[in-house]
């Protein structure tokens, strides 16, 4: 077993797979990719509807839960994180969404670095993109990351889109040009009806064919190794990793790149002595760097699921509630790679404002031709659709904190949902807007009836409390190792994603994942993470040279 490499990448998820591809392209550089999960050879990873069998499955999911949340009236939520090659891109909703141009302009202001402006990040989105419509001013073609049109449509979703337009939301055929306001079907990361994960896109066959590349699966990093340099600063020289039922020390001559995600990356920094001093001392960990921002600034999108019964139109509820219906669904996918088995969890999207005072679209709808009590529960026996709405720019902030000094113990995840008056107001307003859309003439022929949450809830206070009762995560945690300026005491990395300490930078250590986002993007977060990794790969290569 080789234990010395030029680069060690921790986490074979969305960012890690792209980094592995870019850094190992130079045959003189030896690259190790470490993944705590197993290989992505589980068949349900590759069938789009298989997320139902991957989330909550220890084969592919870390099985995290949040702490009981005051804003959710004491509830704890399941908190899925991918634990396999491809990471969350192997179990997520496959929606291709960049966010809004102003999100990235805000990043540039917060970091003092124009490299994060929209016009500067757009080329990095396009660099790895393979858009089904081909190359254009907004999209790339020929890259590894396939963006496809969905292979299905539903009458009830078409009617919702028409109702949204009647309520003042314009139609759009592209959410990814910098202004995603509008209603339309999502584009998805699929290829010919199969899920297209980052492991498929960036590892095979390319990386696997390179003799200078290794990937270790079932290999969980326990600690980052820091050593003192002659100038008094520190350098990350390698990692200790649990693999093959033994602890192995692996050295990196150039960089260790932490791409374990918004939950595991701050956890590993804290376990390694980089984090809030009081927290580390509480668990008997030597404080190498008192970094109060590590594990703070956690942001997530919280979705409020409104369910409406309908008449005279087919939905997945009744289509999948008989053996004959299930057989027809299976046959359609087997022969055409289309139909419900090719479905992303949400098919139709809409971006709009919760009230007229909002400067940008601040809420996103995920609309589905189905309904259920909770994720993982059986579909309802009646025809219905679900209109889930989330606040795109929540002001609530949470934390990720280690529970012990044992790397095998899950951290405490506290998103702190609905903890601000502003977030509670957006929740109430968005539920009212949902009702206004459903009341439009386009849906009248289907006689929609609100069965969840229920029309009896009307006041701001009632609707905000109701949101706490029924809302769930949409699986977009970011921000827990955020980037910022050198004089920002809560910034964890600089604008080139290098880890700060009090006197400068810890040499040879970067964080490259969704945790570095200072503010959450206005939309699904997988593809912005890929863009971050694309920029980081270029910087890593430039710095080495």
Nearest to 9 by CA among 203, 288, 290, 143: 203
Give 502-530 as a DSSP string.
TTEEEEEEEE-SGGG-SS--SS-SHHHHH
Q: Are 197 and 94 spatial neighbours (Cβ–Cβ below 8 Å)?
A: no
Q: Is the CB of residue 382 less than 8 Å from the CB of residue 220?
A: no
| Residues facing residue 372 across a β-bridge | 379
Round to whole Å and give the CA distance between 85 and 220: 13
Of 30, 131, 476, 500, the active-site residue reads 476
Tokens of 19: 């980094």
Return the structure tokens found at 536.
């980081």
Query: At what angle are helices 421-438 and 460-470 packed, to 10 degrees?
Result: 90
| 8-state DSSP, 457 | -
Q: Which of 62, 18, 56 is nearest to 36 (CA)?
A: 62
In whole angstroms, what is the distance from residue 429 CA to residue 417 CA? Answer: 16
Cβ atoms 493, 161 nearer than 8 A: no
Question: Which H or E run contains 422?
Answer: helix 421-438
Q: Is 476 a residue of the active site? A: yes
What distance in Å separates the CA atoms of residue 492 and residue 391, rounded to the nearest whole number? 25
**Which of 204, 143, 530, 180 lies closest to 363 in space, CA to CA?**
180
The C-alpha angle with vertex 51 and arms to 353 and 194, in degrees rounded to 5, equals 95
Instruction: Report helix, strand or coil for 322.
Output: coil
Please tell me the distance from the alpha carbon of residue 287 to that of residue 214, in angstroms, as a whole number.
Answer: 32
CA angle centred on 513, ends 70 and 389, rounded to 5°: 45
Strand 289-290 and strand 129-131: the pairing is: unpaired
Residue 135 to residues 121, 141, 143, 176: CA-CA distances in angstroms? Answer: 17, 5, 10, 13
Phi-psi region of 99 (alpha: psi -120 to 50; beta: other; left: phi over 0): left
CA 358, CA 352: separation in Å to the nearest integer?
A: 9
Helix axis angle for 421-438 and 155-166, nearest 10°, is 110
Cite the active site residues.
476
């Amino acid at each position: 077993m080789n234990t010395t490499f030029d680069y060690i990448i921790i986490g074979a998820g969305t960012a890690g797979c792209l980094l592995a591809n870019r850094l190992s392209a130079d045959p003189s550089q030896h690259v190790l990719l470490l993944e705590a999960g197993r290989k992505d050879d589980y068949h349900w990873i590759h069938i789009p509807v298989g997320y139902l069998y991957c989330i909550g499955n220890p084969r592919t999911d870390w099985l995290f839960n949040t702490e009981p949340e005051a804003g959710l009236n004491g509830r704890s939520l399941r908190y899925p994180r991918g634990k396999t090659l491809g990471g969350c891109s192997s179990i997520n909703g496959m929606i291709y969404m960049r966010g809004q141009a102003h999100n990235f302009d805000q990043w540039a202001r917060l970091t003092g670095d124009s490299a994060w402006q929209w016009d500067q990040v757009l080329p990095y989105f396009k660099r790895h993109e393979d858009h089904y419509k081909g190359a254009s001013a907004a999209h790339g073609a020929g890259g590894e990351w396939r963006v496809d049109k969905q292979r299905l449509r539903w009458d009830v979703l078409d009617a919702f889109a028409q109702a949204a337009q009647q309520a003042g939301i314009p139609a759009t055929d592209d959410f990814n040009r910098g202004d995603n306001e509008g209603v339309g079907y999502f584009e998805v990361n699929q290829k010919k009806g199969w899920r297209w994960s980052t492991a498929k896109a960036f590892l095979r066959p390319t990386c696997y064919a390179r003799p200078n590349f290794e990937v270790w699966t079932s290999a969980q990093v326990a600690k980052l190794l820091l050593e003192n340099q002659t100038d008094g600063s520190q350098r990350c020289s390698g990692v200790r990793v649990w693999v093959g039922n033994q602890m192995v020390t692996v050295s990196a001559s150039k960089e260790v790149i932490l791409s374990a995600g918004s939950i595991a990356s701050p956890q590993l920094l804290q376990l390694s002595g980089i984090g809030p001093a009081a927290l580390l001392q509480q668990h008997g960990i030597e404080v190498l760097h008192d970094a109060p921002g590590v594990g703070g600034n956690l942001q997530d999108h919280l979705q409020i699921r409104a369910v409406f019964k309908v008449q005279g139109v087919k939905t997945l509820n009744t289509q999948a509630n008989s053996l004959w219906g299930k057989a027809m669904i299976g046959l359609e996918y087997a022969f055409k790679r289309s139909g419900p088995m090719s479905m992303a969890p949400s098919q139709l999207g809409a971006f709009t404002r919760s009230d007229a005072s909002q400067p940008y679209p601040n809420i996103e709808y995920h609309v589905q031709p189905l309904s259920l009590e909770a994720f993982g529960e059986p579909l309802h026996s009646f025809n219905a659709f679900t209109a889930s709405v989330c606040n795109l720019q929540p002001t609530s902030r949470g934390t990720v904190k280690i529970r012990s000094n044992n790397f095998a113990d899950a951290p405490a995840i506290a998103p702190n949902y609905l903890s601000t008056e502003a977030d509670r107001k957006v929740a109430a307003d968005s539920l009212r807007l949902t009702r206004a859309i459903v009341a439009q003439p386009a849906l009248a022929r289907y006689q929609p009836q609100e069965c969840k949450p229920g029309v009896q809830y009307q006041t701001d206070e009632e609707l905000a409390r109701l949101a706490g009762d029924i809302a769930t995560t949409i699986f977009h945690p970011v921000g827990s190792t955020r980037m910022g300026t050198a004089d920002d005491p809560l910034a964890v990395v600089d604008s080139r994603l290098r880890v700060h300490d009090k006197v400068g930078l810890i040499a040879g250590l970067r964080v490259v994942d969704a945790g570095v986002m200072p503010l959450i993007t206005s939309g699904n977060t997988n593809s912005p993470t890929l863009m971050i990794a694309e920029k980081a790969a270029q910087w890593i290569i430039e710095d080495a040279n």
